[in-house]
Structure 1
Amino acid sequence: MIALKKEDIVLNKQFNDKIEAIEGAGALLKEQGYISEEYIEKMIERDALTSTFIGNMVAIPHGTDDAKKFISESGIVLIQVPNGVSFDGNEVKLIIGIAGIENEHLELLSEIAMVCSEIENVEKIIAATSEEEIMVLFQGGLVA
């Protein structure tokens, strides 16, 4: 399991469109040392193939299969967008950028899906006022 660190979380962000949102997630992944710059373009390319919107106001932008060479270490970043941003007409309030070495991206996706499949969890993350609150939700303090 990948641990979510305080530095991986951004609260109350605003984006004009999904490209800006994907670039924001990519920039945070890069800032945290998980990826190189080239991965961000692959995240945009991946979303153009199939939307990274997964439902429940959540999008999980990540790179294409051939982008793995641009990943330094597996990581996850989370951006809270309380006012929402449109992903192809779907309102997204939680952007979770991921970069997974080897098949770790599948593990990351499954962990995220478990948390975000419950709308109550997503609403708690969107309403969170601190990074710590979000970290607790991802570390198992989820809706019973």
Structure 2
Amino acid sequence: MNKGASVLSAEKIILNASVSDKTEAIRLAGELLQKAGHVTPAYVDKMLEREAMLTTYIGSGVAIPHGTNESKQEINSTGISVVQIPSGVDFGEGNTAYLLIGIAAVGDEHLEMLSNIAVICSEEENVKQILQAKTKEEIITLFEKGL
């Protein structure tokens, strides 16, 4: 899936975000996808619905919010958003997320994307680099290596 530039671009990254709770954090990740034209506003609601059913926190300070299976028709194109939250946000059960990677994928691409993102984020060093990145370009480079 070497569509790095269109899948993740600078306008879909927020550095040093400050949010009050996970709902606001997920909404932020979803709105980036929406503004870029990847999804409809309804998809953002489906991301929150998914989180209410099952946490999207995957460990190492990372959450990967995405829509429910029923939200497929709300996706126009495949894309990811990245929200860096240095102070962290409570994802419940003692988990704090410092990095949110919002995803929307056409067809079965979401499984491949989840897998690629999980591989990138399974390396603690990668997560640390993404969290410490000072520019959006640094983050794009890190993801393009793995996507």
TM-score range, shorter chain: over 0.9
Counterpart AA for 1:121: N
The alignment status of 1:14 with 2:18, answered yes or no, reads yes
For residues 23 and 6 of structure 1, the distance between their equivalents in structure 2, rounded to whole angstroms, comes to 18
The alignment status of 1:52 with 2:56, answered yes or no, reads yes
1:40 aligned residue: 44
Q: Which runs of 4+ in 1 moved over 4 A?
A: none
1:114 aligned residue: 119
Unaligned 5+ segments in structure 2 are: none
Shift of 1:138: 1.0
Q: CA RMSD in A?
A: 1.0
Counterpart AA for 2:91: F
Q: 2:89 aligns with which of 74, 79, 85?
A: 85
Q: TM-score scaled to structure 2, two decimals?
A: 0.93
The alignment status of 1:5 with 2:9, answered yes or no, reads yes
Q: 2:137 aligns with which of 132, 136, 141?
A: 132
Counterpart AA for 2:137: E
For residues 76 and 104 of structure 1, the distance between their equivalents in structure 2, rounded to whole angstroms, comes to 12
Shift of 1:115: 0.5
Say how many residue pairs are matched: 141
For residues 58 and 9 of structure 1, the distance between their equivalents in structure 2, rounded to whole angstroms, comes to 15
List aligned pairs for 1:61-72, cutoff 5 A.
61-72=65-76
Unaligned 5+ segments in structure 1 are: none
For residues 44 and 144 of structure 2, the distance between their equivalents in structure 1, rounded to whole angstroms, comes to 27
For residues 106 and 70 of structure 2, the distance between their equivalents in structure 1, rounded to whole angstroms, comes to 11
Identity %: 50
For residues 140 and 73 of structure 1, the distance between their equivalents in structure 2, rounded to whole angstroms, comes to 21
2:109 aligned residue: 104
For residues 29 and 136 of structure 1, the distance between their equivalents in structure 2, rounded to whole angstroms, comes to 19
For residues 27 and 137 of structure 1, the distance between their equivalents in structure 2, rounded to whole angstroms, comes to 22
For residues 144 and 81 of structure 2, the distance between their equivalents in structure 1, rounded to whole angstroms, comes to 14
